[in-house]
Amino acid sequence: MKKICKNCGASNQPAAKYCNNCNESLIGSMLKSEDESLQSVRPANNYASLGNDTVSIGKWLLVMFLLTIPLVNIGTLFYLAFVSQNQNLENFGKAALILTVIYFVLTIVFVIIASIFFVEILKSLSY
């Protein structure tokens, strides 16, 4: 038996109080056994549980704004990559995190090389 959300049609655990897809309250939702028609839809439903919905301009504005704030931007990327429940935002978050790691490593390498040069210059000046 599954609880069917009357708002979006997603199937939820019988004990669930809120829809795991749209957060609609499930109080008063009907319990429905998984008949053939439902089971044939389920794989697609499960696959689509990561939403492929178009991300609105307002949401992109929010994301871009958050990404301009130091530290908050890292948190935002983690949220997008692992919590957002939207395939597009998830891919964007992961790609941006990968770039962040690459930039971070390159920056450390650059700082190390630069400080070695700096120390060498200081040494040569002291003679």
Q: How many CB atoms lie within 10 A of CB 125?
A: 7
Q: What are the strands of the beta sheet with 11-12, ordered from one edge?
A: 11-12, 2-4, 31-32
Q: Which stretch binds Zn ion (CB under 5 A): 15-23, 44-52, 90-98, 104-112?
A: 15-23
Q: Which is nearer to Zn ion, 8 or 105 (CB)?
A: 8
Q: Which is nearer to Zn ion, 8 or 72 (CB)?
A: 8
Q: Which stretch binds Zn ion (CB under 5 A): 18-26, 78-86, 96-104, 111-119?
A: 18-26
8 binds Zn ion (CB under 5 A): yes
73 binds Zn ion (CB under 5 A): no
7 binds Zn ion (CB under 5 A): yes
The rounded distance, in Å, linking the Cα atoms of 9 and 32 is 11
12 binds Zn ion (CB under 5 A): no
Query: 3-13 burial string, b = 16+ CB within 10 Å, else e?
Result: bbbeeeebbbe
Q: Which stretch binds Zn ion (CB under 5 A): 5-13, 48-56, 62-70, 98-106?
A: 5-13
Can you spell out the DSSP letters for 12-64? E-TT-SB-TTT--B-TTPPEE---HHHHHHHHHHHHTTSB-PPPPHHHHHHHH
10 binds Zn ion (CB under 5 A): yes
Contact residues: Zn ion, CB under 5 A: 5, 7-8, 10, 19, 21-22, 24
